Structure 1
Amino acid sequence: MIKCMLLQSDNTCRYGNEELIELWKVQPETTLWVDLESHNKADELLILQQFGCHALAITDLHRERHPPKIELFDDYIFMLYRGIYECQGDLQFKHLQIGMFVGTNILITSHEQKSISIDKLFTGEGEKYLTKSPITLALRVFHNSCGVYLEELFEFEEKLELLEDQFQLGGDDKMMQEITLYRSRLIKLKRIFNYHSNIGAELKLLVADETDIINQAEMHTVTDVHERIERLLSLSQMHYDICSDLINGYLSVASHQLNATMRVLTVITAIFIPLGFLAGLYGMNFEYIPELKVVNGYYYLLTVMALIALSLIILFKKKRWL
């Protein structure tokens, strides 16, 4: 599906399909946003070649799971980033790869499924950014995607605080399984935000180079996008560290409880070993054992065993093993 937004010379916008592309070609003073959604790759290739997009950029766009990147060509800035198709809550996102070709009077976006940020801006809200420049609109699409991530991280922060409070009252294996799952999802988000952070840094360098496509006038927007990405990265890192601390704390408590249990079992074993030795010694089936003839030998043996047990208990108490 091809959607087009054409900003005319009188700053009014028209919405349509391929027919606006032909109109843009004959009216160089207009600005065009072409959105390619769920398009056949062969057809998309022809369309992008028609606009003069570089073959290497198109190849990167059509590769599956290509890392986010930004690259400057003669007539375009090519951006590839991880957008959002659906937000499922609990740090679960259905991601999609979004490619953007940004020229002086054109923006081309390409994605296989619906994008939350593009659908939001393909309205009057996007018109005001297209009026400024295509790069401003492209950055706002990127900024809007970051905003969806940010909202989810804020919601997760509240849930994480509840988990911390519950952990103080007493954690269990089910809670640790949940926290481990969150930590795994945060690792994936950190990887995405790291790539996006590199894009933000590259955009600042492009602003400093003062090209026709992006210049100092866009510095505020670029800085805003970069700061939002850095905030996402720091929040995801902070939440990851908290989850790791909770897991490590639970493992430490479990290990301490296990050690205490093993210590008690060891003490009990240490007490009964000498008693078992004496019981085994006089339980042997030899015909001649001198002590068997002692009238009160049974009571003497019980007394000795009791003294040994009592002595060991006192010893372990002094060493604070009990």
Structure 2
Amino acid sequence: MSDHPARRPSTPAPRPLSPALASLVNELTSARRDGGPDSDALLLTARWSTALRDRLDGTLAATGSVGRGEATPASDLDVVRLAPGPTPGFTALLAEGITGDAEGVSPTTSALPADRAAWTAAVADWSARPCDDRGVVKTGLLADAADPVGDICRTAATTVPGTPMVPEMLRDALSHTPPRSRGLFRADAIALKEDLLTPVVKIARWASLASGSAARGTVTRLNDAADAGLLDRTEAMTLSASYRAGLALSLDLALGTGPTRVFERRGRVMFSAMTQERSRLLRDAAEGLRGIQRTLQYRLSTSSFTEF
């Protein structure tokens, strides 16, 4: 149930993509290298995500990074069921080189609801008792789901506000902090997914659901949260900049348009392996996230976010 995969030495080499998907990757690579208006990481990840979603069966919804429109060609495909039936589109994508989720977010899992009605009933239970049945994680899957027929993510947006799920999702979003990237004891590397991308995604998801927004994109969620007053404009802008910096590097690593030999032995990205400008942006992204997490932790401790 991941958003952006981390590079691990033990991860098997991915299967080659089909000619159609490989052609799309080539288009994304060319656009990224050109550096023009169409090279923005959010635009390119949206193109890739849409291409995968368009080939899925109507009984399924992509979730995670593909559902949010923020997947790179290295991202796993997380899928949930919305109705019973065969899934030839999903099977074909796996056969064409797309990697399914290793943690079980797939059409065959019995740990998730199997249709729209079951999702609607389940999210009400999870919102009332978020610590049961991995309620925070499963509500996040629903909120990120790109329903090809309706808009099931609205179910979470209308159910979560004013429930115990609100502070619990924030606690989960604050449970991991990136290492210090500046100062005397600064880290020399960062785990791009775990340290940067996932915490921002979780904060944005919490803020949007707490405010009743059904948006799926991380930056849009942050803007909606600022409109609703859960985050101030500066916080939303800082988190958006942090996410953009991390997503851009994630995309460049997936397309081969960024630095090479950038991973250290534990799979983290080394600051010293990047250009000075990119290293600065990534350090700023991590420090910006750390500062906002401290602020949100204080607000949570004073119950500022428990009375929606």
Larger Rg: 1
> When you count helix as a share of all residues, which structure comes out higher?
1
Q: Give the structure-1-normalised TM-score.
A: 0.25
**Higher RCO structure (Cα 8 Å, ≥6 apart):** 2
> When you count strand as a share of all residues, which structure comes out higher?
1
